[in-house]
Structure formats: C-alpha cells, structure tokens
Structure 1
Amino acid sequence: MCRQKGFPFPCTSSSVTNVNPSILALLAACSIPTLAAGTIYYVAPPPLGSDDHPGSEEKPFATIARGLQALGPGDTLYLRDGIYRITEPIRIQTVGTEEAWITIAAHPGETALIDAAGSIPGSQRDIHRQGAITVTGAEYTRLHGLRVENSHRAGIMVTDPSRHITIERCFVRKTFKSGIAGWNVHHFKVLGNEVVEANTQLMRLYGSAARETPHEAVSIAGCVHFEVAYNHVHHCGKEGIDVKEVSRHGVVHNNYVHDLPRQGLYVDAWFGLLEDVEFHSNIVHDCEWGLALSVEGRESELRNIRIHHNVLYRTRGSGIYFGTWGGNGPRSDIRITNNTLWRNGSVEHWAGPTGSIDVRSTNTRNVLIANNIMRAGGAFDIATFLDPDDAAAWEEHGIVITHNLVEGVRDRTTEGIDGYGRVFVNPGLHALKGDPLFAQTAVGDFSLREGSPALGTGLDDPDLYRGESRYLGAVPPEQPVSGD
C-alpha cells in the first residue's frame, strides 16, 4: 500500500509536475500484478512487429487486435514501448477464469501509448458506451499500465455483460466522455489509475460546445460489487468519481481528487435503487463541491451510504452536500462520521450561502452526523433543512447530529437561490467549539497537535475508530495526511 505520512495515497505513475514530489515517488513504487502461468504474447509497433509473426518476444504481433485474438485463460499480452495509433475502438472480449485471469499490460518499464485521435465516430450516437478501449462481454480480464489519450469517446469503457474486470495503473488523458467508466459490470475494480482532462470539449466532434460533455471523469453506473481505489483524478472538465444509477455493494476509498469545476465525489441515483456504498479515506480539494449525495432520477432512491475518514478542503461550495438537483428523490440510512473539513463553502456562493456539511434536501431520513471536524467553513459548519426548534420534525426525519467539533456560533438561517432552498445552522448535540489544532494546513497536513480538543472526545462507539482512542476527524492520532 502506498502511503504519504501514514495516509494511503493512489498508486499511479503520474506525468504531472504540480503534485508533491514525495507523493509521486510513492506512486512509482507500486508493484506490477502477479501473472497466471499461461502463454505470454507480445505486440510492438512496426517495423519490429508484424501480424504475420507468432507473437513471441523476438517476433511480436504488430496490432493489439491480433494479440487479443491469441489470448486464452491465463495468458498475458504485453504491449512493448511505442505509440499505437488506432482508427477504431479496441474491442476486448477475452474470457478468463477465476484461477486463470487474462492480463493485457504495458511491458514492465515501458510506455505503451494508445493514441485514439484518429478513431473518428460516424456521429454523436456512435459514441454511446464506447471508449478508445471498449471491454464488453469479457470475464476475468485485467488491464494494467496502459496509457490512453485523445479519445473522441471515453478512454476505457467497460460494459455489460462483463464481469470480474480490473483496470489498474492506467493513465487516461484528454477524453470527450469519461476517462474510465463501467456500465452494469459485476465485480469491477478501478485501482491506481490517473485520469486527467476527461470530459473536455477539445475532443468534441459533433454538436454544440454549449452543451456539456457526457458523464464524469470516472463513472460507475449500475455496477454491482465494485471497488474504486488509489486513483488520482484531477484537472478534468466536470465531476470526479461518480457512483450512479442503480449501483450497489461497492466502496470508493483512498482516492486523490482535486482541481475540478464540479464535485470531487458523487453518488447519484437514477432508474431505481442505489444502495450500500461506502466512501472512506479519500482526499478532495479545490473542487466546486466536495462530496455530493443526489437522487436525480424519477422513482429513484438512495439508501445505506457510509461516508467516513475523508479529508475535504478548499471547496467553493459545501464540503458534503445533500443535493436538490433533478427529481430530488428520497435518501436514507446515511452515516457521516470522522471526516475532516476545512475551508469549505462561502457566504456568497452562486447557490447561496454554503459551508462544511449541508443537508439541504428535504427528502432525507435517518442520518447520523458525528465525530467530524469542521474549520473555516464559509456560511456554516453544519446546516440542515430542519428548524432546530421543531422537535417533531427532527424525530420524523431521524436526523442525529452529535459530537462534532465546530468553529462557533453562526447566523441561524441561510437562504439559497431558487432550487436550493433554506437551511438552518445547527451544531447538534454535545458539540465542541474551538480550534482543532491541525498540524500544518498550508501543506494539507490535518493531523492533530497535542492538546487538540478533538482527541479523546468522540462518540462512544468503538466501531467508528481506527485504533483505540476516541478521536474526531479523519486522521487517527499520529497518522498525518498530506494532499498538497
């Protein structure tokens, strides 16, 4: 596991230069996968490669398509160093087994760049569920260490009926749609990748640039049993990581998401029930919203969402936001515990006053907000749609706010613009007020100094903590976190 000062970080091989060099050194140290004992095939650009070759290390194939044709359970396809310019999507339909996965990977120590600039869809409709790499109907297949750039579609798209698919340590840059996406995939893992410049209008071929680009940098749509972890998502055109539609039974953890024009993390129900998703140990900063919970589709519902041990800071809108967008459907059974929020929201945000934790949707029930640290929030630390004096409404909605560290007393109510509504400031029960004594916010270190009021004062529930002490916020004592 890669760690920066005791806090896990995404395992990618980054080319960007504006990230802390110590993080990049840790990312580069992540290991390559263990391969099954099958046949190893090779692809290399001409003149070394030829599709008339047997695909050996000495005589590799020339095209990825030819290499894919050769693969069976347990086999590996290595892409040698070079640029693979494609004129149509690479379609992967390989079928491995639980004991014999198929691996498609860049050769260790080499860069295999798939340049999709010349892959031109015939129309806007032709990009539906397509990527420069399109995985469909595949099973027990792993993509490792590939570099995909300049796609007029998505970067890497995985669609049903695929299952047991892992995308790991890939680098995706400059795509019209998502950098990496999965639609209705069962047992799907997105691990240690880097996505930059996804959802860019620069890759649009059809339609007006006044229309937004489709989907998000990393889109998890209708997936079942999924994991999105250790990814680095930044400088894209829309949202960061979105779990949406009817996805269920998944976890989003240890991702580093920053510098986006919309929310860094997003859970968004469409077409039915989205349930049982956990967000933990993520770092989000310099986005519009930190983490948004939304039910935008008609007759849709969001249920059983756990949000804990995340660090969210320097967001223009609220750090954690219960959105009122779209159909504003029901959401319930949500736990927001042990998160650290710093400099979230503002008094003059375009949506109205915003702050640290913002429970704005009135269609919300059974929520626990506990053990969080909020500092330097814009208009408020915690605010909800409920009047603090309306005890019957609080009981009806089942919202509990307790044992949080807040900055202090704020104005009692705030008014949003049309569609965003009013919220009431409420620090909750057993609130502590004061300075959490963060170690060094200037470099993103939110560990707690000795004497912090957040140490030893958390809710008496051992399941909430990492270690023995009862602490508030995301960072266990003596485990600093740095995201800059």
Structure 2
Amino acid sequence: MDGGTVTTDLVLQAQAGDRAALDALVAAHLPLIYNVVGRALNGDGDVDDLVQDTMVGIIRGLPDLREPGRFRSWAVTIAYHRMQDHYRRKYKGMFKRLDAEHDRIPDPSADFAERTCTELALDGQRRELAEAARWLEEADRQLFSLWWQEASGRLTRAELAGSIDATPQHAAVKLQRMRAKLDGSRAVLRALNARPLCPELAELTRGWDRHVDSRWRKRLTRHTRDCTWCRRFSRDLVSPETLLQGVGLVAVPAALLAGLATFAKAGAVSVHATNVSFLGSLAGKSAVIASATAVTLGGITYPLWTGPSEKPTVTPTLVPATSSTVDAPDPTPGASPTPKPTATSYIGVASADLYVAPGGDDSGTGSRTEPFATLARAVSVVTPGQTIALREGVYRPTQTTDIEVSGTSDRRITLSGYRDETPVIDLSGLPGGAWGIVQGGDFWTVQGLEIRDAPAHAYVCESCHDNVFRRLSSHGSGSSGLMLRGEGTARNLVENVDLYGNHDGLGVMFGSGEGNQVRGVRAYRNTVEGIDLGGFTDAVTVRNSWSFGNANGFTLGGGNTTVNSAHVLTDNAAWDNSGVGFNQEGNTGRIRLTRNTAYRNGVTGFWLPTSPAVLVRNLAVRNQDDADVSPGANATGNAWGADASIIGLTDKKTTEGRRREDGSLPTTRFLAPTTTAGARLNGRD
C-alpha cells in the first residue's frame, strides 16, 4: 500500500478506538507539524508548547474528520490556526514600537530569519531570502513556512491549499502575492547593502530606525521598483523554490522528546483509569491504554472519544404564519430602503412562498407544512417575485450552494429568516477551500441569517448587481465573511451586517461596478482586513461603519496592483487595529474621507501617502503615527494627533452590544467627539 492508503487506514483505526494506530499516526506526523510550526515561529520559545497544543487539537478533532484521506492537510490546518491564535494572543501589539522598552520586547517579525541565518549558515541568495522573510507580515510568514514544506516535498500543493482553507487556484494566487512581496524585499535588501548607496534611497531612509513593518516595506519596495539606479537589484534573483530545495528540514529536537518523557515520568501528566497521556508516544514510548476517555495535559483535561458519533439534527416546531406584517419591497439598492408601516415588526418575513427547515424534506412541496430541507433545493425552484423563508435551526450543507436565478427590478427575490427566528447556516462540513454560498443572481434581498465556520469564503456575490444584504451575521470563516467581487458588481447595498472572527470581514474586491454602498457594518476581530476594497476599480461608498480589532481597519487600495478609485468614506471609525486604520494601499484615486475617526491603531491612523485625497474633518487620536498624508491631498479641518480628552473612552463595551431594533449599530458614547471633527458613531450630524 502507498503512504496515503496507510495513513487513511490508521485514521480509520484510530477513529474506531485503536490506540496503537493513534500512536503510529501521531509519531508519523509529528516531524511535519514541528517543521511547519518551527519554521514559522523559529526564534520563539513557545515552539515546543505550540507543537504539543497542536497535537492535542489533532487528537481531539480526529473523530470528526470526515475525509480520512485528507488527514495530513487537515493536521497542518490545525497547526496553521494554532499559529494564528498564538500571534493574536501573544503579539496583539506587535506593530507598536515603545521607545523605552523596544529592546526588551521580542520582535515577532524575527521568527524565521534570525535563527535560520545562523543555524543553517545560508550564503549568498539563500541568506538574502532568509533576511527578506523577516519583512513579511505574520500571515505571509506562515504561508512561507508551508511553502517551504511544499518545496521540500513534504506537502503537496493540494495539501498546502487545504491547510489554509483555500482552493489550489486561490492558494496559487496567495503564493504569487507572497512571492512578489518576498522578491521585492530581496531587491530592497540588495539596494540597502549596496555601496555607494542610492542618494534618493539614503534620503528616504534618513531617520529610519531599521524597524521593519508593512509601511516601510511598501515604501522601500516602491522605490526600488521605480528608481532607475535601484531597479537593477531586482535582476538575477534565483527562484525561491530553487533556494529552498537546498536547505534541510528541521529535525524534532531530542530535548523536546526527552523533556516530554521526563515530564510524563515526573507525574505532571496524570494517567488514571479515565485519563491517558499521549506524550509517551511522542517520545517514542507506548501510551498507557486503560479504557481511556480523556487526556490530561498540564492540569487541563481534554475529552477523547469512544467511537464515531452523529450530531443530533435540530427540528424546529413549525409556527403558523400570520398576515400581521406587511413585508416592505426593496427599492433600487442605491437608494435608502423605506419600509411601509407595519402592524408588527419582524427581523425576517412574516410569510413566504417557499419554506426550508432542518427537519424538512427536499422531496416535499416547500410549503409551510412540508418545508424543504436545504436552501439549495429552494433556490433551484424559486422564481422572480417569490420569498424563501428559512426556519430556525442549524443547516449543514456539504457542498457549495449556487444561486443563479435572478429577480427583476419590480419582482425581487427575498431570502430571509422567518419572523424573529434565527436560522444558522453551518458551513464547517464543506470540503477544504470550498466557498459556502455563491450568488450570481441579481435583484435579491438576503436578510436575517447567521452564517458560520466556512472553510473559505462564507458568502460570495460574484458579478452580481442590485442586491441587498442586510442584518446578516457571518463569523468563523477561513477567508471572508461576505465578499462582493467580479466585473459588473454594481448597485449592491450591504447594510447592518456583523462580520467577526473571520480571516477577512467584508470585501468589495477584484472587480468593477458603480453604485455599491456599505453602511452600518461592524467588522471586528478578523485576522487580516476588516473592510477591504482592494482591487475594485469603481468608487464604493462606505458610511457609518466600524472596523476594530483587526490587522487593518479600512483598506482602500489595490492589493498588489495600483487602482485609481475615488471611494467615499463618511462617519466611519477604526480603532485598536494592529496595523493601519484607513489604508490607501496603492490607490492613487481621489479618495474622499469626511468625519472619520482613527483611534489607537498600531501603525498609522490615516495612511494616504500618494493619494490626492480630499480629507475633511477627520480625527486621529493615539495611533502610533496619526497620519501620513500626501502633499497633494486637499485637507481641511482635520485633527491629527488630537488630545484624547475630546473623545469618549468609557463606553467601549457597548460597541459590541446588541444592535438597535431597526438593525442599526448600537447607541454608544465611545469615541463621541466634542469637536466638529471625527465620526458620528450614532449616525447624527
């Protein structure tokens, strides 16, 4: 049998309760996990603990693995997410430079090159490659670590893609972007080390403390790309794949295995009739098997399993519909929807043409008493002017739901929760890299749904127009919580939507189309971007939205390309993002920002160094750098570096509270300015 078959058999045996198979599975894959984590966190003292934590996660999650043949990529996915959690937890303020304490704070960006350069004695371009990896952001360094495993033959492209919850095509795009940043940094390092030094580069770096962050990387890369003197340093770069193939893999350190064995012998890992440590198997020893149901590590007990089990299906009680609510039709999304007076106000619809319920049957009629079981079935039969109501409960599709049918301007299609019930679409059962819901249809209103745990994008509206997305909650996705993309993406409205705990929150990206509006959106604690307009060539209007606790708040640029988009942002707030609050990112268009607030962002509040932006009455307080604005910008009435006393700081918890009855953002005094500058977080002028 080949290696894949052996692994599959071991997984199946371990899921059935075979402890010897579990030992073999763990022992066989520990070197791979150690290399992935070790390369990404090299120089960090927590590598061994994080590897151990990853192996615990693999054991705990093994019974729910539905595709045993994907064990390796699934295990690497767990390692990848553990690394992300590690950085969020330990280096929440990683971009902040505290002058007095800077030398005492470990630099997380030194996780790869510092020890790699020393321990592996890289020379020439290998050394340049390792140093350039220091300049990558956290997510790209993790991707670089996985790519190293692929270059060494330890991972396939499909396994790499699965580990980052992407399709192979999307993974290729991510790798290409990471490679572009890496090669740009390699050229910069060559230019910085050249003698004589380029006079313009010397002037550009005057006063620079050599601290590497994304802002400086982009500035210096742009210089070496555009400068006739420095452009030559981008030539003759040996491909990273060739360089990586010449570097050996990291062996699992004997000290870790010995330490684990000593740890177990010392009794720090308790072994009872109902507890078993797997640490002995990591050290090449047999685990103690005694009808175990839990594993105790460091005083924390994690339940194991007694065999495969099925999760119960939630079957809601069907409630008779009434006609007490008159559902308001949506106008063209570019205008503000104005609901008709209602006798009773619901988040969802009071009645529908088609019903879906977790306990339904796709062979039924789709009526209230005989609902369908899946959204896919309902969208396959819906016609213009009809309404689909999802009943309360959890839906677990196992493949992407495609919405291709369109309504018309006077006969819109509505997809909604029923009354005040909350339907939950759980996408965790989709194959790795699969998108949850992909809509190409136009003239839809989608509202009142919770969407969670997509392996990649949760909801994608692709080349769609005249749609309304309102009162949605999307969280836990491996890519974006909600994405609008593609040519002809026009006149869509995203309103009163919550996006949190995803890789990215909201994206209006990689496409074109006029009249798209975003308002009342709350994007928070996403790994990378809160609200991202990268690569979208037409103006998007963003109003009264909040983006906080992400890497970047509002990204308005082109990603790795240059766009000329005159986006309009009014009364938005970005706070506590580890990077930039309002980020130009390659957009040379005449961006208009009016009464926006950037507070306590880790790098820069407003970063618009080359945009001829129009900035009116914006407010920046307590950011690492409050504003980097182009000399060609038209700036009036802004307050850069304002005193914190002019804003409210005591009502922060309310920003994550319940929305108001009409779905708008909660009332709060947080960041409320006492001047004419800054966002009106409650929508008041």
TM-score normalised according to structure 1 size: 0.61
Matched, 1:242 2:532: yes
Q: Aligned-pair distance for 1:441?
A: 3.0
| Per-residue deviation, 1:154 | 0.6
1:375-422, Cα deviation, whole Å (9 max, x unpaired): xxxxxx4xxxxxxxxxxxxxxxxxxxxxxxx5xxxxxxxxxxxxxxxx
Aligned 1:86-235 pairs, distance under 5 A: 86-121=397-432, 127=433, 131-136=435-440, 138-160=441-463, 162-184=464-486, 185-199=489-503, 216-221=504-509, 222-224=511-513, 225-235=515-525
Amino acid at match of 2:618: N
**Identical-residue share of aligned pairs (%):** 21
Give the direction of change, closer, same or farther, for the CA distance of 1:475–1:148 in structure 2 (3 Å limit): closer
Q: 3-state DSSP class of the match of 1:294?
A: coil
Partner deviation per Cα, 1:225-244 (whole Å, 9 max, x = no partner): 21111111111111110112
Q: 1:308 aligns with which of 594, 610, 619?
A: 594
The structure carrying a bigger helix percent of its residues is 2
Matched, 1:83 2:386: no
Distance 2:442 2:680 in 1: 38
Deviation at residue 479 of structure 1 after TM alignment: 8.5
User: Structure 1 residue 120: deviation in Å?
Assistant: 0.6
Q: Does 1:263 align with 2:552?
A: yes
Contact 1:253 1:281 in 2 (8 A): yes
Contact 2:416 2:447 in 1 (8 A): yes
Code of the residue aligned with 1:441 in structure 2: it is L
Residue 622 of structure 2 aligns to a residue whose secondary structure is strand
What SS does the corresponding residue of 2:363 show, helix, strand or coil? Answer: coil
Contact 1:173 1:179 (C-alpha < 8 Å) held by counterparts: yes
5 Å matches for 1:380-459?
381=641, 438=646, 440-443=648-651, 445-447=670-672
Structure 2 equivalent of residue 51 of structure 1? 362
Structure 1 residue aligned with 2:639: 373
Distance 2:352 2:627 in 1: 53
Shift of 1:439: 5.7
Taking a change above 3 Å as real, the CA distance of residues 368 and 73 of structure 1, as seen in their structure-2 partners, is same
* Matching residue's letter, 2:598: L
Partner SS state of residue 68, structure 1: helix
Q: Confirm or deny: 8 A CA contact 2:490 2:516 kept in the other structure.
A: yes
Specify which of 355, 358, 366 is matched with residue 628 of structure 2: 358
Task: State the secondary structure of the residue aligned to 1:241.
Answer: strand
Q: Which residue of 2 aligns with 1:22?
A: none
Q: How does the TM-score come out when normalised to structure 2?
A: 0.44
Deviations 1:425-464 (Å, cap 9, x if unpaired)? xxxxxxxxxx585263333544455xxxx5xxxxxxxxxx
Counterpart residue type for residue 309 of structure 1: R
Q: 1:256 to 1:120 in 2, by over 3 A?
A: same
Distance 1:365 1:102, change over 3 A: farther
* Contact residue 35 and residue 103 of structure 1 kept, 8 A: no
How far did residue 114 of structure 1 move? 0.9
How far did 1:197 drift? 1.1
CA distance in 1, matches of 2:546, 2:553: 9
User: How far apart are residue 332 of structure 1 and its match?
Assistant: 3.7
Distance, in Å, in 2 between the alignment partners of 1:342 and 1:237 is 23
What is the root-mean-square deviation of aligned Cα atoms in Å?
2.7
The residue number in structure 1 matching 2:603 is: 317
Once the two structures are TM-superposed, the CA of residue 475 in structure 1 deviates from its matched residue by: 4.9
AA matched with 2:386 = D
Structure 1 residue 369: Cα displacement: 1.9
Counterpart Cα distance in 1 of 2:535 and 2:387? 33
The aligned length equals 319
Q: d(CA) in 1 for partners of 2:419 and 2:680?
A: 35
Instruction: Judge conservation of contact 1:220–1:247 (CA < 8 Å) in 2.
Output: no
Check 1:62–1:311 CA distance in 2 against 1; reply closer, same or farther (3 A cut). Answer: same
Distance 2:395 2:577 in 1: 34
Query: How far apart in 2 are the matches of 1:479 and 1:74?
Result: 33
For the Cα contact (< 8 Å) 1:281–1:311, is it kept in 2? yes
In the aligned structure 2, how far is the partner of 1:140 from the partner of 1:178?
22
CA 88–474 in structure 1, closer or farther in 2 if over 3 Å, else same: closer
Please state whether the residue corresponding to 1:244 is helix, strand or coil.
coil
Letter in 2 for 1:79: L
Kindly report which structure 2 residues correspond to 1:16-55, keeping only aligned pairs within 5 A, or say none: 34-35=328-329, 40-46=353-359, 49-55=360-366
Which of 613, 621, 629 matches 1:342? 621
Q: What residue number does 1:387 align with?
A: none
Q: Please report how far the alpha carbon of residue 373 of structure 1 lies from its aligned counterpart in structure 2 after TM superposition.
A: 2.0
- Equivalent residue for 1:71, pick from 382, 387, 404: 382
- Please state whether the residue corresponding to 1:153 is helix, strand or coil: coil
User: CA contact under 8 A between 1:249 and 1:275: conserved in structure 2?
Assistant: yes
Q: Distance in 1 between matches of 2:646 and 2:575?
A: 16
In 2, Cα distance between the equivalents of 1:257 and 1:32? 34
Gaps of 5+ in 1: 1-30, 122-126, 200-215, 296-300, 324-330, 346-354, 375-380, 382-405, 407-434, 455-470
Instruction: Tell me by how many angstroms 1:474 deviates.
Output: 4.0
Contact kept, 8 Å, 1:116 with 1:150, in 2: the verdict is: yes
Unaligned ranges ≥5, structure 2: 1-324, 331-348, 652-668
